[in-house]
Amino acid sequence: MPQRKRSLLNQFLIWKYKHISQENFLYILSTIVGLLAGIGAVTLKNLTHFIFEFLKTGFIKDIHIGFYFIFPIVGLSLTLLVVKYIIRKKIGHGIPATLYAISKRESIMHRYQMWASVITAPLTVGFGGSVGLEGPTVATGSALGSNFARVFHLDQRSRTLLVGCAAAGAMASIFKAPIAAIVFAVEIFSLELTMVSMIPLLLASISAVLTSYFFLGDEVLLHFEIKDSFHLNDVIFYIILGLGCSLISIYFTKVYFWSHDFFKKIDNPWYKLLLGGSLIGVIVYFIPPLFGEGFETINAVLRGDASHILKNNIFNTQADTIWMIIGLLVGLIIFKVIAMALTFGAGGIGGVFAPTLFIGSVTGYVVATVVNHAKIVAHSVSQSNFAMVGMAGLMAGVLHAPLTAIFLIAEITGGYDLFIPLMIVSSISFLITKKFIPHNIYTSELAKKGQLMTHDKDKNVLMMMDIDKVVEKDFIITKPNMTLGQLVHKAIVKSKRNNFPVVNHEKELIGVLHMDDIRPIMFNTELYECTVVSDLMITPAEVIDYDNDSMEEIMEKFKITSAWNLPVIKDDKYLGFISKSRLLNSYRRKLIMASDSFS
């Protein structure tokens, strides 16, 4: 049967080469990938909704509030069991895993990534994990796009484009915002926006949106309608909102990374689950609006009515004063970040997009509430508008995606009436946050390792290079106690190289020998027994660390030292040499590959 399938595929590929151009074939594939990404998004959403509704209206509905504490632990436990016994591989966070595949795996994603998040993310979020579904949806769609490209033996550039198409399709399906989805793919995945990439991205977004409409009808995730127009007098308050969003974005990111580092120190996954799950349970028990994604809260705020949110607490506290209202809303912001970080730390699978929207909407609502209470201007500012623009501010700050934020909110609102405040708040939040947080949550770890794909083509080419393909290992190893005679007869006469690494008995590099330094004495037999290698070796100008040095750093070492060969160590042991000529040849090949256009 597999042979039969392979034969049919080969016949199709032969027919395709004769009748369909590569460009048109890519258009067809991008449409199909968008459809698959849309189906993936609908599946994730419906599974999560099914679990949530079962918990909310099932046989335990009468004591539901009492189970807020236990639900997250149950969901995280089920997630861990699925990962450990069914998937049996590390899933990783959705968008960072996709970015890593683009930068270091030539856009090849594992097959299990097509379905892993479809199972684990609904278990995490449906049972109350305070994270979102957007990241897992994008990862699922991207894996589908990558593996779909592999089936038809597409090259790396085509695979990368289809991964971007799938990501755009996933976002378009979730928010029914195809233009913002394209901007998201370009901004987060650093795709080049050319006519070659624009058409496939458009086709993928359109097919994904149509898929969403087919399965979900006119249902939208965010319910909003502009009722109040923008006033010039409100500019100062939007500037204040931008400043507030930047501060909260910094807090959001710092807490996320602190939690990540803290839980990383705990080796046992069950200990992580019990600690993180218990703390999440406590938080959502006392603050039920933090249960799950939180879109009910977001939509309530967008309607300009936070009364239901404020009353929904275990103590039934009544928000009788403005300061009580503000205090409860600020508490939502603070503890939503903590609950999100704990969910990830405990092993949950999800994304940061929904928490970003949640916190942004509440932030905007708080600013508008304070302004209206202070009665600084004659008219009341729109709490709904500020809540919506606040979401853009947090997206711009946390995700470092100001264009995505602007176009997403503009599409959701159905027009450009809020375009000016969106630009003001997003730009301020982005610029200030980036000053303190150079890389967003998705890209920080990759950036530290020099594995981040950016719009800088030179850096991308260096990052795409594989160090294993430039390390040469055919150098004869010498020992420090070898005599000159042994060196000549056992190394020099047998080697085609001009360099000899000197290592100790633990295989640690302690020096190098250059033929130019040995040549004046190598034929002096009187020195054969009285001269040893340790007398002749020198310290290398630089040493390349296999595990820690990026290709950009390796290039810089060659530039600084003017050396033609530099030794490489791995785990403090000698590994081989890298030559400048081989490095430059590899760079040139990758540059040609990155520059090729589709024909």
pLDDT tens readout for residues 532-575? 888 888 888 899 998 888 787 888 888 888 888 899 999 889 99
Which strands, in side-by-side order, build the sheet including 544-545?
471-472, 573-579, 565-570, 544-545
The answer as to whether 505 is a domain residue is: yes
Residues 363 and 424 reside in one and the same domain: yes
Does residue 433 sit in the same domain as residue 536?
A: no
How far apart are the C-alpha atoms of 309 and 303, rounded to whole Å? Answer: 12
User: With 50 as the cut, is the pLDDT of residue 481 above it?
Assistant: yes
Q: What is the residue range of 449's domain?
A: 232-457
Are 166 and 238 in a shared domain?
no
Instruction: State mean pLDDT over 283-308.
Output: 83
Confidence of residue 454 (pLDDT cuts 50, 70, 90): low
pLDDT one-digit tens code per residue, 349-362:
998 999 999 999 99
Same domain, 164 and 143: yes
Count structural domains, the chain.
3
Same domain membership, residue 238 and residue 170: no
Question: Which of 457, 479, 495 is the last residue in one of the domains?
Answer: 457
Q: Which of 536, 535, 542, 538 has the alpha carbon at shortest distance from 569?
A: 542
| Same-domain pairing of 184 and 317 | no
Q: Is 426 found in the same domain as 322?
A: yes
Residues contacting residue 123 through CB under 8 Å, at least 6 positions apart: 51, 75, 78, 79, 82, 349
Query: Is there a domain that residue 417 lies in?
Result: yes
Is 182 domain-assigned? yes
Out of 42-51, 238-247, 350-359, 367-376, which region has the weakest mean confidence (pLDDT)? 367-376
Instruction: Indicate the residue among 457, 476, 497 that finishes a domain.
Output: 457
Mean pLDDT of the chain, nearest integer: 84
Name the more confident of 197 and 185. 185
Domain boundary among 457, 477, 502: 457
Phi-psi region of 545 (alpha: psi -120 to 50; beta: other; left: phi over 0): beta
Indicate the range of 315-324, 407-416, 540-549 predicted with least confidence: 315-324
Single pTM value for the model? 0.78
Burial code of 72-91, b = ≥16 C-beta within 10 A, e = fewer? bbbbbbbbbebbeeebeeeb
Residues 450, 474: one domain?
no
Nearest to 537 by CA among 565, 502, 567, 578: 502
Q: Are residues 253 and 197 in the same domain?
A: no
Same domain, 393 and 471: no
